[in-house]
Structure 1
């Protein structure tokens, strides 16, 4: 009797099953629980394959079958009657993309797929798979130590979001003028041939005063009184190795951490040794790194688009240093400099106070100004430098290092703090920007994009440290779109123009080209009647939620100011929030 019932059940099941049921691919069923979209392949010659209306009718019928099969399993959603399947579009190969109106669990998704496949005109049903970012590296220290300063948290530079947008720094060269670099397994792969520019054997630790190729860090340890009477002994800092790692530490190799621009290459240029480094050597190195000629040294075969200088002294910018920087900039290199760690105005710190450099202040885990960071109107942007007070790991910037107390020994990773650590974040971000730009950005354009894309500080800093915290994702996005034409009305410097009448909700975009060396850009709208809002941006269309300046006063009188504007084009969007007419506008530079 049992056998007869089982046989009868099988016969009934066979009779109910369609003769040509399509195949059901459940390989990515988990994706269907996130976004219930499916790809349906209809048989050749079927109306559903070529006619969207026929496909939608088939989906309506499949939804009816699905509701019957799911039964109470779907009642817990928004009611069985609410379930529908929408036929969205045809793919390149003739398949149909369809979407369920409700989020489903695995059992419901499978039932729905089988209901679709039971149509004899359906050849197969599969999940419209979700692709996910593959940019997140597998280096263990990224998650445990570096995420606070690379990620999207309060103090992060949003580097991980820039990676997800496809920016890696590929094909960009960054020169690091510092103590040189060690032979670190997590760095050396991204090093290009460098040079040792130190011309004093007591500073370099070499046998002669000659400059030599390599750029390797031999150690900058000192003994008591070596750097002046009363100076104490110190171990080697391996400072250049740490800075270089933040820029381009080898990434996705399963060891250590990650670099900001992990597909960029670093040219190590040794300018700092025992007790520091000479300004004359540093100035020569600046020019050489950018591809300029220095007598007695072979030209750099890999000219840098970015020069990182996490160094400085407590004095104003000297003429020779400014000349070297000007030469490097004329060769296309963006010069990124640490603001300094004296808790003082950057105006008294060189080379950060030099013209046309990108000066970088430091912030900590919560986005506040690090107590040691120099400040002032000369600082362009801030970046994570570690404040120390948050403890380990969140109080420090983590990167490559060395175990040797004097000379290089084993590979190591340590946390350090300082504007020296903030600066390579910005240099790495510049490399990310250049790697995605349609054409290389000039140093002035790079500076303008960095400033205009910086995100606001979570709380106003106690001292001015730039436009905000550097935002890698926003800077990369702006670099991708840089130079794209925007329909605008050109303004002539200090010439009044009449704005056309605007109905509420309408707007007009103005543009003004700002030459190099101006101290202020001012835009004013006035007179007439109505109510306006005005927004300003650098080299991109301003929006209410994306701008570097906004004015939303009552009436037509709106004023926008940009101190120390970068060379380039600024756009001003004026929007009528109530009908406006008879308004005058003027843009003026000083």
Structure 2
């Protein structure tokens, strides 16, 4: 008889009347105008690169303004309608830096500065984003997207029940993937190359990372321009073994473009096979992120409790520890996991009649149990499984932004987290709630 240690998926399956998930249908969509990010090569952007703002003192007359700006190399001067402030466009033969230094030294000038760019924050037009994705609002996702949206050269491997990523046999591709890129994955459970989801969980988790965004459909994903790799290590019941998980980690680590491994799963452990596979992945430059577990106890699940894994706990809409979230000294950070029993995330904190779960696309597991893998809806789901892909998405964006060391990626999130609970790191919240925009800030704008 073969004895296999089982590793059970960490779903929110607790003994109370509230369901695990709730569907929502796209009936009352809200259209929102989106603003494209600034193209640095656009004509207006190039023009601003040669402009200065010069504030002259109130008693400076226009003849002195004309003389000083002409001597500094101005080609055109435009006066503000609100005082002695001027927009100075430089002649091609003069550099803004030299002109700024010359003007700043003149007694008639209060200050001179480069005419920096401003742009509208990216606000996706996905109808459920503004209404239902309170978790993205909590993380200030729009500011994060102004810094980085990801790139398909950065792959997040989703080790889970598979993903509804293709039309194959009885399986169907989820409708809101849009242009999301999928790289070749594997089905460790069934021993083939088609890592199709037959549970619902993996599709929901993957959608938090990279559901199509700003496509006027459904919900948004945090790192929506990154690519996904489906790696099926859990069966239709959400169960797998240490061997299958270790195989999945090693498979993902073979692909040089995989930079993050998301494991919204866990068990009691330990397992040398899984630990060594994690060690190999981290040594290859891959950030490994795992869920803390949903037992509501002070023991972090394996493999999240490994020292080189980012262990993720969950908070609800009030930024309080979700009642199910495990805690302990291994917790690194927390992210929104939700609580479908609560309704705290309506406008201004007023209940809006919608549960505080994490809303993403997936198929109905009840239909899947009958062999129908095409009954797609948007479901509210809660758990540390749902918190974990928020962190994996940010890890992918940090990699794209230029931080390639898994230790440095972990540190960037920990050092910029919002401190919750007791001052400093604590076993309930770890270093605190991730703040993606703060972690990315100072690392440059969205790379092309």
TM-score w.r.t. structure 2 length? 0.69
2:292 is the counterpart of 1:339: yes
Q: CA deviation at 1:268?
A: 0.5
- Corresponding residue for 1:429? 394
2: CA distance, partners of 1:458 / 1:144? 28
- Corresponding residue for 1:380? 332
Q: CA deviation at 1:252?
A: 1.3
The answer to whether the 8 A contact 2:75-2:90 is kept is: no
2:130 is the counterpart of 1:149: no
- Corresponding residue for 1:390? 342
- Corresponding residue for 1:561? none
1: CA distance, partners of 2:140 / 2:422? 18
Relative to 1, partners in 2 of residues 1:357 and 1:54: Cα closer, same or farther, differing over 3 Å? closer
1: CA distance, partners of 2:151 / 2:442? 15
Relative to 1, partners in 2 of residues 1:408 and 1:132: Cα closer, same or farther, differing over 3 Å? same
Specify which of 64, 67, 70 is matched with residue 50 of structure 1: 70
Relative to 1, partners in 2 of residues 1:92 and 1:175: Cα closer, same or farther, differing over 3 Å? farther
2:218 is the counterpart of 1:256: yes
Q: Bigger relative contact order, structure 1 or 2, given CA contacts below 8 A and separation 6+? A: 2
- Corresponding residue for 2:440? 476
The answer to whether the 8 A contact 2:355-2:380 is kept is: no
- Corresponding residue for 2:176? 186
- Listed one character per residue, the Cα deviations across residues 7-63 of structure 1 (whole Å, up to 9, x for unaligned) are xxxxxxxxxxxxxxxxxxxxxxxxxxxxxx99xxx9xxx86872469999x98xx89
The answer to whether the 8 A contact 1:289-1:303 is kept is: no
The answer to whether the 8 A contact 2:421-2:429 is kept is: no
> What secondary structure is seen at the aligned counterpart in 2 of 1:259?
coil
Relative to 1, partners in 2 of residues 1:90 and 1:274: Cα closer, same or farther, differing over 3 Å? closer
The answer to whether the 8 A contact 2:361-2:377 is kept is: yes
2: CA distance, partners of 1:55 / 1:433? 41
- Corresponding residue for 1:212? 192
1:400-549 matches, cutoff 5 A:
400-403=361-364, 404-406=367-369, 407-437=372-402, 440-457=403-420, 464-477=428-441
2: CA distance, partners of 1:419 / 1:325? 20
2:256 is the counterpart of 1:312: no
2: CA distance, partners of 1:49 / 1:177? 62
Moved more, 332-341 or 350-359: 350-359
- Corresponding residue for 1:324? 277
- Corresponding residue for 1:290? 253
Whichever structure has more strand as a proportion of its residues is: 1
1:89-100 matches, cutoff 5 A:
89-91=88-90
2: CA distance, partners of 1:371 / 1:449? 27
The answer to whether the 8 A contact 1:340-1:419 is kept is: yes
Q: CA deviation at 1:328?
A: 1.0
Q: CA deviation at 1:188?
A: 6.4
The answer to whether the 8 A contact 1:317-1:354 is kept is: no
> What secondary structure is seen at the aligned counterpart in 1 of 2:86?
strand
**Looking at CA atoms only, which structure, 1 or 2, has the larger radius of gyration?**
1
1: CA distance, partners of 2:287 / 2:195? 21
Q: CA deviation at 1:390?
A: 2.7
Please report the RMSD computed on the Cα atoms of aligned residues, expressed in angstroms.
3.3
Q: CA deviation at 1:453?
A: 1.4
Q: CA deviation at 1:84?
A: 2.6
2: CA distance, partners of 1:54 / 1:265? 47
Relative to 1, partners in 2 of residues 1:197 and 1:435: Cα closer, same or farther, differing over 3 Å? same
The answer to whether the 8 A contact 1:52-1:87 is kept is: no
2: CA distance, partners of 1:378 / 1:54? 60
**How many residues are matched?**
340
Relative to 1, partners in 2 of residues 1:341 and 1:92: Cα closer, same or farther, differing over 3 Å? farther
Q: CA deviation at 1:463?
A: 5.4
Relative to 1, partners in 2 of residues 1:318 and 1:93: Cα closer, same or farther, differing over 3 Å? same
> What secondary structure is seen at the aligned counterpart in 1 of 2:288?
strand
Q: CA deviation at 1:354?
A: 1.9
> What secondary structure is seen at the aligned counterpart in 2 of 1:380?
strand
- Corresponding residue for 1:84? 83
> What secondary structure is seen at the aligned counterpart in 2 of 1:290?
helix
2:143 is the counterpart of 1:161: yes
